[in-house]
């Protein structure tokens, strides 16, 4: 009898307990969201005002604001939030407080230029920030390289990209690849070989671990693109010979056109999609990187 009473008590109080836990979690989530919003709204947007009240502590305050930029960007990207409207005001304040804070211009321009959710999707602001950096630090050749990157990869303005690399190549200490890139882009515009060359030079010459990691990621994805092009060429040849498109990679291997199973840089086998084109395996971690690197398609306008 006592056991039945205990069971009846559990049946009554368990739902109440779950309801209480749900309300508590909901309250915590709401408070966290409010805290994030409050932190965003508390930021002063006037760079001149912040510098005026900072007096001789302006460089120290610049470091504080730069830390705030990194935290803000990291928090937004970790939560895949596309609203990063405070990124530019924070960078504006940081570089106004200390015009010689090189890292703020270089990484700030990357944060601004890369497409969501990895960045703000505002290459125009990235260019503006770097131009401000060049004005304050005219001999910093790496600014011109970063500018060339934005023009080449984000805005597809190859004339400006070539000009930026060429101008930077004239600065003291500039790497030889700057001049090479200026010539290659002027002659070819965008090409897979040029992109691989550019990122490889950045990867091998930089000492900054964050920049090296970013270059390594791009090289992995460019290798995927290169591999898929080669596999597609083999699939095209298979179609010519047999009058139909291969549906499985094993068919290309059995035909003798492929010597073995092609894999990506992480060891996952490539597959043929529904259209018979090569693509990444669904299990490959590179697939998420690839999807995040692709710009979001705009929805068609309704008239």
* pLDDT tens digits along 166-199: 999 999 999 888 988 898 888 878 788 888 888 8
Is 210 found in the same domain as 73? Answer: yes
Is 187 found in the same domain as 48? Answer: yes
- Model confidence band, residue 298 (pLDDT cutoffs 50, 70, 90): very low
Q: What does the mean pLDDT of the chain come to?
A: 81
Is 228 found in the same domain as 100? Answer: no
What values do phi and psi take at 155, rounded to 5? -100, -10
Is 139 found in the same domain as 167? Answer: yes
Q: How many structural domains are present in the chain?
A: 2
What pTM, to 2 d.p., does this model score? 0.65
Is 202 found in the same domain as 139? Answer: yes
Q: What is the distance between the alpha carbons of residues 290 and 12, in angstroms, rounded to a whole number?
A: 50
Residue 78: pLDDT over 80: no
For residue 106, tell me if it sits in a domain: yes
Is 252 found in the same domain as 153? Answer: no
User: What share of residues in the chain are helix, strand, coil (percent, to 5)?
Assistant: 70, 0, 30
Q: What is the distance between the alpha carbons of residues 214 and 114, in angstroms, rounded to a whole number?
A: 12
For residue 15, tell me if it sits in a domain: no
For residue 33, tell me if it sits in a domain: no
For residue 278, tell me if it sits in a domain: yes
What CATH number has the domain bearing residue 203? Answer: 1.25.40.10
Widest distance between CA atoms in the chain: 92
Is 149 found in the same domain as 229? Answer: no
* pLDDT tens digits along 46-76: 655 665 555 566 788 888 889 999 998 888 8
Is 268 found in the same domain as 202? Answer: no
> Lowest-pLDDT range, 100-109, 278-287, 288-297?
288-297
For residue 298, tell me if it sits in a domain: no
Q: What is the distance between the alpha carbons of residues 204 and 200, in angstroms, rounded to a whole number?
A: 6
Q: Of the residues 214, 234, 261, which one is the last residue of a structural domain?
A: 214
Residues sharing a CB contact under 8 Å with residue 127, sequence separation 6 or more, in sequence order: 109, 113, 147, 150, 151, 155
Q: What is the distance between the alpha carbons of residues 148 and 142, in angstroms, rounded to a whole number?
A: 10
- Model confidence band, residue 241 (pLDDT cutoffs 50, 70, 90): very high
Is 177 found in the same domain as 71? Answer: yes
For residue 96, tell me if it sits in a domain: yes
Is 171 found in the same domain as 104? Answer: yes
For residue 83, tell me if it sits in a domain: yes
Residue 51: what pLDDT?
Answer: 59
Q: What is the distance between the alpha carbons of residues 103 and 108, in angstroms, rounded to a whole number?
A: 8
Q: Of the residues 180, 214, 248, which one is the last residue of a structural domain?
A: 214
Residue with the bigger pLDDT between 192 and 299: it is: 192
> Lowest-pLDDT range, 95-104, 184-193, 247-256?
184-193
Residue 53: what pLDDT?
Answer: 58
Helix (H) or strand (E) holding 272: strand 271-272
For residue 272, tell me if it sits in a domain: yes
Is 254 found in the same domain as 157? Answer: no
What is the extent of the structural domain holding 233?
A: 223-292
Is 88 found in the same domain as 121? Answer: yes
Q: Of the residues 214, 247, 275, which one is the last residue of a structural domain?
A: 214
């Amino acid at each position: 009898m006592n056991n039945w009473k205990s069971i009846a008590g559990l049946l009554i109080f368990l739902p109440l307990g779950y309801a209480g836990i749900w309300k508590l979690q909901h309250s915590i989530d709401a408070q966290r969201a409010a805290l994030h919003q409050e932190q965003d709204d508390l930021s002063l947007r006037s760079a001149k005002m912040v510098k005026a009240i900072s007096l001789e502590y302006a460089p120290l305050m610049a470091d504080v604001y730069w830390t705030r930029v990194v935290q803000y960007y990291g928090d937004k990207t970790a939560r895949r939030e596309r609203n990063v409207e405070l990124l530019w005001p924070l960078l504006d304040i940081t570089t106004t407080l200390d015009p010689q804070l090189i890292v703020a211009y270089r990484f700030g321009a990357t944060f601004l230029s890369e497409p969501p959710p990895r960045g703000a999707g505002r290459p125009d602001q990235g260019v503006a920030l770097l131009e401000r950096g060049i004005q304050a630090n005219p001999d910093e050749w790496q600014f011109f390289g970063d500018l060339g990157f934005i023009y080449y990869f984000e805005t597809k303005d190859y004339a400006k990209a070539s000009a930026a690399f060429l101008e930077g190549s004239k600065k003291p200490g500039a790497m030889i690849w700057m001049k090479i890139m200026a010539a290659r882009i002027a002659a070819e515009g965008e090409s897979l070989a040029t992109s691989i060359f550019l990122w490889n030079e950045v990867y091998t010459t930089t000492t900054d671990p964050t920049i090296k990691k970013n270059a390594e990621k791009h090289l992995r994805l460019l290798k995927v693109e290169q591999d898929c092009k080669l596999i597609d060429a083999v699939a095209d040849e298979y179609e010519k010979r047999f009058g139909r498109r291969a549906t499985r990679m094993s068919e290309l291997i059995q035909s003798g056109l492929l010597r073995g199973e092609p894999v990506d840089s992480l060891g996952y086998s490539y597959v043929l999609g529904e259209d018979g084109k090569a693509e990444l395996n669904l299990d490959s971690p590179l697939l998420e990187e690839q999807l995040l690197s692709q710009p979001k398609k705009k929805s068609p306008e309704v008239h």
